[in-house]
Amino acid sequence: MRKTGFLILLTSLLGLMSHQSQAANAVLLGWNNLGMHCMDSRYAEFAILPPYNTIEAQLIVGGKLMKASTVPNAADYTLSYQAIVDPVSGVMNSTSSGKSDWETYAPTLFPVLKTFNPAYTADMGLAGCNMPGIDSPYVLNTAQPMSFQPANSPENTYQAEGVPITPTDDQGNKNTYPLMRLVARDANNAVVAQTDIVLPVSDEMSCKTCHAANTNDKAKPAGGWISDANQEREYRLNILKLHDDTEFAEHAALYNEALAAKGLDPAGLYAAATTDQDPATPGVQVKPMLCAACHSSEALGAPSFSGANGTVPALTQSVHATHATVTAPGSSLTLDSSDNRAACYDCHPGSKTRCLRGAMGSAVAADGSMEMQCQSCHGNMSKVGDSHRTGWLEEPTCQSCHTGTATNNNGKIRYSSVFNNPLTYDSQRVAVNQTFATNADTPAPGLSLYRFSKGHGGLQCSACHGSTHAEFPSSHQNDNIRNEQLQGHAGVTVECKTCHTAGVPSTTDGGPHGLHPIDQNWVGRHGDAVERSGTTGCKGCHGSDLHGTELSRVQGDRSFSVESLGTVKFYRGGTVGCYSCHRGPSSESMNTAAYPITADVSASTAAGTPVNLTLPVTGTGVTMRILKQPQHGTVGLNNAVATYFPEEGFSGTDSFLFAGYDGAKNTVTSTGNKGAVPATATITVNAACSYSLQPGSQAAANSAGSFSATLATGANCAWQLQSDAAWLSVTSPTSGSGPATIQYNVAVNPALNTRIGNLTVLGGSNQNAAQLAVTQAAGTDGDGDGVVDAVDNCTALANATQLDSNGDHFGNLCDADLNNDCKTNSLDLGLFKSVYGNAAGNADLKAAADMNGDGNVNSLDLGLFKRIYGKAPGPSAQATCP
């Protein structure tokens, strides 16, 4: 047993050693052929694109790209792909079963599937490349094979075309950047290399902004909006009905011909999608339409329908040109006039998926906006929808922006738009230098596409630079995993030793785009290269003055031993020139000048509010740069002032990296560290303050009263209280920070109608953060004399029915100062003469007069004194007395 166990262990160790040896001698570069694959979120009504994701890879063994002609050759190795868990969610995406209605309608949309495989399932790819869970969804994750393409474009790649992945993981969560592991095995089935890549996919493609019911009236069908509880179905039905209305009105003959040729209901696409049954698919009660069945689409390789009455326009023309004149809800600009990606993201995956996430799409302008928009490369919608343009193939070239080297270019090394005039999109720039150019006539004469081009050693451009729209480094971390595994850092594949595992070649300009190796060996011998050939070749990247340019920035952290300077470090994004280490190209002396120094900074701001940070730096002539944008916002830079713009809805801690360069030295964060690390800016984004007043409403009697309310808010949230009514007043506090108990008063309501006043919390930029409505009851008028009881000195008897001796409109019965001399009746002796001696019914001025007829003479009637003289001075006295 021991001997057998030892042999098994020895065999395993030998196999492991062999595997490690081969793995160390091989590298696998994989990528997705497009930066984003779109699919419909629903297929019951119509389909634009199916789930169709394509994987490409190239295998390098012993420093050689595997081709059909190499020894060993591509046929000696097999490649496969299978799902792996997402590093954040911990969930994989191995199957498409049950994740959409694609499986139900795919055979109707693509009839060939019924012939290809009558038992079609969602995990079966249209081109034969399946999901790893096909054998047992949610249980198995079986590696699926890739095939080698020696001649097809792109050539010398292993491919898996049309993998039907969806943007939903195996636990039902949305994930538009799922991961697959590519594995290369030799003839003995031993793993020689592997890599993890993203299969980007999104079903965010949507038209509901304008076509959902009750949105844009110009998109309303002739018969009115179609409403449905399912909004995804609703906007699709509105599109089909509008399509019918338009085509029957404008191209009836061609439309009728196309409907008949495709076996569709002569009443139109709406009828086909709502009432017709597909006879070839039992149980499917409607017949959805594939847009590419009539409108040519290079994405699906389908031509336009053509008949006796004309030819149907290409899909890209019908969609983009038609919508160019549309004004989206909430905007005053037509989609054609818009110069930013918002116009495209109304339909394409953007607001959530953010598919434009690569190095170009992530570039930020000084004002914090995205420096490059969709229009920067593709032009406006009318240009994309031009009838003479072939969609998916007539695309911009790299060299229209990357026009050449530092010494031979179109005026700048790189531009942020491919157009000579970015405002008119008139013509694409023609580069004077082909250093960064795509291959001409690739994949066909007259075309020059990045995703089919190749460069250094026959590697596809995408193998090193990444997919379109997701060029390394990407703003989405999953895209960066591959290169972090292969070379230890994100960004373009630049480390020579990644592929040249047996040793980096000794060359001056034989690397990609004429690059030399970047390692300690080059540090030691670059002086000899200059002595042999001069500095002309160096200036292409390091600039005519050899102080460095954007082409001589390091793509990963570097550490070199440099003669008397000792260890010199460059952080990723730092600039290298001839003055970084020595005193220029013709000097042997080391440059011992002091490094410019910067420091970490911090700031805080409220959610949604930009904040400025002055980036500290010592030294002169230092140009500051943002090396890494924050994860939850953007940073614009104006000289040394950085402005952080938090993304909508974000609160928490965010950060970005920055540094500077003075033409010789990159900034350091402390003396003596020789470029070790860039500086960090940390921003605390406080959650948006919310405010509430409880109770939110208060009923008050018509009399004066005091009340309280509870103001709830965050501890650091400042506020002020404001009343919109003079009778409603805050007693304490009127302003503050954090939660509080509010005291307020209500005055007497002198009116005969209800009144409402509001207490409003003003919080920060929110001028109506919370409100409390006080409703006060109307005043009552018991005697009906038009004076409310609360201010009526005599509520029992209307003043108009009483004797008014002094003419102050308050009857004697309740008038405490009958003669208006500011003396209370009970103390006023003159009153006896003027009133009691001369009252109505006492014309003879009898001393024994009985004014109230109770049998008691006035002067002895205590009840009269109580009713009249016992009252305080009335309104008349208050109005006239000091």
Is 91 a domain residue? yes
| Residue range of the domain that includes 738 | 691-776
Closest alpha carbon to 737 in 706, 712, 756, 715 = 715
Domain final residue pick, 168, 185, 202: 202
Q: How many CB atoms lie within 10 A of CB 557?
A: 17
Range of weakest confidence among 48-52, 327-331, 431-435, 771-775:
327-331
DSSP symbol at 182: E
Domain final residue pick, 776, 810, 832: 776
Give yes or no: residues 620 and 745 share one domain. no
Whether 602 and 611 have beta carbons less than 8 Å apart is answered as no
Which tokens is 727 given? 């009778």
Give yes or no: residues 740 and 830 share one domain. no
Give yes or no: residues 91 and 52 share one domain. yes
Is 82 a domain residue? yes
CATH of the domain at 193: 2.60.40
Model confidence at 805: pLDDT above 70: no
Is 355 a domain residue? no
Closest alpha carbon to 36 in 396, 408, 442, 476 = 476
pLDDT at res. 281 = 56
Model confidence pTM above 0.95: no
Domain final residue pick, 133, 168, 202: 202
CA distance 287 to 285: 7
DSSP symbol at 417: -
Which region holds residue 473: left if phi is over 0, alpha if psi is between -120 and 50, else beta? Answer: beta
DSSP symbol at 673: S
Give yes or no: residues 642 and 704 share one domain. no
Is 378 a domain residue? no
pLDDT tier, 196 (very low <50, low <70, confident <90, very high otherwise): very high
SS (H, E, C) 210-241: HHCCCCCHHHCCCCCCCCCCCHHHHHHHHHHH
Question: What's the burial of 753, exposed, middle or buried (CB within 10 Å: 0-12/13-18/19+)?
Answer: exposed
> In a 3-state reduction of DSSP, which class is residue 855?
coil
Whether 480 and 472 have beta carbons less than 8 Å apart is answered as yes
Give yes or no: residues 134 and 267 share one domain. no
Q: How many CB atoms lie within 10 A of CB 1?
A: 5
CA distance 199 to 283: 33
pLDDT at res. 872 = 38
Q: Bridge-partner residues for 706, per DSSP?
A: 745
State the Rg of the chain over Cα: 41
CA distance 477 to 156: 28
Give yes or no: residues 220 and 252 share one domain. yes
Sign (positive/negative) of CA torsion 294, 297, 303, 307? positive
Q: What is the mean pLDDT of the chain?
A: 86
Vertex 843 angle, CA 838 and 847, to 5°: 60
Assign 3-state DSSP to the chain and report helix, strand, coil percentages, each to 5.
25, 25, 55
Q: Angle formed by the axes of helices 231-250 and 252-261, to 10°?
A: 120
pLDDT at res. 839 = 43
Give yes or no: residues 82 and 191 share one domain. yes
CATH of the domain at 860: 1.10.1330.10
Which has more confidence, 156 or 880? 156
pLDDT tier, 355 (very low <50, low <70, confident <90, very high otherwise): confident
Phi–psi pair at 866, nearest 5 degrees: -70, -45
Structural domains of the chain, count? 5
Helical H runs in 262-314? 269-274
Q: Which residues of 108-137 are buried (b: 16+ CB within 10 A; e: fewer)?
A: bbbeeeeeeeeeebbbbbbeebbbbbbeeb
CA distance 59 to 157: 8
Give yes or no: residues 49 and 121 share one domain. yes
CATH of the domain at 717: 2.60.40.10
pLDDT at res. 72 = 87
Whether 448 and 396 have beta carbons less than 8 Å apart is answered as no
pLDDT at res. 71 = 83
Helix (H) or strand (E) holding 606: strand 601-606
**Per-residue pLDDT tens digits for 548-570:** 999 999 999 999 999 989 999 99
**Per-residue pLDDT tens digits for 489-527:** 999 999 999 999 989 999 999 999 999 999 999 999 999
Is 855 a domain residue? yes
Provide, rounded to the nearest whole percent, the portion of the chain with pLDDT above 70: 84
Question: How many residues are given for the chain?
Answer: 882
pLDDT tier, 155 (very low <50, low <70, confident <90, very high otherwise): confident
Closest alpha carbon to 357 in 492, 473, 203, 491 = 473
Give yes or no: residues 217 and 184 share one domain. no
Model confidence at 866: pLDDT above 70: no
Provide, rounded to the nearest whole percent, the portion of the chain with pLDDT above 90: 66
Q: What is the full DSSP assignment across 341-371?
A: THHHHTTSS-TTT----STTTT-B-TTSSBS
Q: How far is CA 412 from the centre of its chain?
A: 31
Give yes or no: residues 803 and 656 share one domain. no
Which tokens is 741 given? 């108990």
Q: Which residues of 502-513 are buried (b: 16+ CB within 10 A; e: fewer)?
A: eebeeebeebbe
pLDDT at res. 767 = 60
Which has more confidence, 765 or 72? 72
Is 825 a domain residue? yes
Range of weakest confidence among 11-20, 576-585, 645-654, 749-758:
11-20
Question: What's the burial of 10, exposed, middle or buried (CB within 10 Å: 0-12/13-18/19+)?
Answer: exposed
**Per-residue pLDDT tens digits for 166-181:** 999 999 999 999 999 9
Helix (H) or strand (E) holding 521: helix 520-533
Which has more confidence, 675 or 184? 184
Is 566 a domain residue? no
Is 863 a domain residue? yes
Give yes or no: residues 190 and 217 share one domain. no
Give yes or no: residues 191 and 252 share one domain. no
Residue located via tokens 């914090």? 368
